[in-house]
Amino acid sequence: MLEKKPGKEKVDFWHLLGKQCELTIAFEQYPKEEKEWIFIAESYSFTSIFLQVLSINENAAISLNLARIINEYQYDVYVVGGCESAIERAAIREFAISNKKYIIASEGNFPDVNESSLAKRKKAGYLAGASYYLSCGSASDAYLSSYGVNMSRVFRYNYAAFMEKDMLQSTPITDIRRKALIKRFRLRGSVFISVIDFTEEQGIDLLLEIWKLSGIKEADLLIVSDARKQRKLYKMARDLALNNVVLLDYQPKEMIRELYKVSNAMIYPARYDRWGMQVVEALSTGTPVISSYNVGSVHDLVHNDKTGYIQSIDEPAAWGERMRELMRRDTLLKKMRENALSSMRLYTVESRVKTYIDVFKKCAIAQIKRQGG
- Are 247 and 210 part of one and the same domain? yes
- Are 211 and 326 part of one and the same domain? yes
Number of alpha carbons in the 13 Å side-chain half-sphere of residue 48 = 22
158: left (phi over 0), alpha (psi -120 to 50) or beta: beta
- Are 47 and 172 part of one and the same domain? no
Please say whether the beta carbons of 257 and 195 come within 8 A: no
Q: Could you list the residue range(s) of the whole structural domain that residue 66 is in?
A: 2-160+349-370
Q: What CATH number does residue 90 fall under? A: 3.40.50.2000
In angstroms, rounded to a whole number, what is the distance separating the alpha carbons of residues 87 and 168? Answer: 39
- 49-102 pLDDT per residue, tens: 889 888 777 666 788 899 999 998 889 999 999 998 899 999 999 999 998 989
C-beta atoms surrounding 229 within 10 Å = 16
Helices 277-284 and 253-262, axial angle in degrees (round to 10): 70
Number of domains in the chain: 2
Distance of CA 172 to the CA centre of its chain: 24
Q: What is the mean pLDDT of residues 175-187?
A: 93
pTM of the model: 0.92
Q: What is the CA radius of gyration of the chain?
A: 22
- Are 249 and 122 part of one and the same domain? no
- Are 56 and 20 part of one and the same domain? yes
- Are 95 and 230 part of one and the same domain? no
pLDDT for 214: 96
- Are 61 and 155 part of one and the same domain? yes
Please say whether the beta carbons of 232 and 204 come within 8 A: no
- Are 69 and 188 part of one and the same domain? no
- Are 314 and 359 part of one and the same domain? no
pLDDT for 32: 62
Q: Which residues contact 352 (CB under 8 A, 6 or more apart)?
A: 13, 157, 158, 159, 160
Q: What is the mean pLDDT of residues 364-373?
A: 71
pLDDT band for position 37 (50/70/90)? low
Please say whether the beta carbons of 350 and 161 come within 8 A: no
Parallel, antiparallel, or unpaired: how do β-strands 24-27 and 47-50 relate?
Answer: parallel
First to last CA, the chain: 23
- 312-357 pLDDT per residue, tens: 999 999 999 999 999 999 999 999 999 999 999 989 999 999 999 9
Q: Which residues contact 42 (CB under 8 A, 6 or more apart)?
A: none
- 99-129 pLDDT per residue, tens: 898 999 999 999 888 899 999 999 999 999 9
In angstroms, rounded to a whole number, what is the distance separating the alpha carbons of residues 301 and 247? Answer: 27
- Are 281 and 232 part of one and the same domain? yes
Q: C-alpha angle 138/139/143, rounded to 5°?
A: 115
- Are 187 and 155 part of one and the same domain? no
- Are 281 and 208 part of one and the same domain? yes
pLDDT for 221: 97
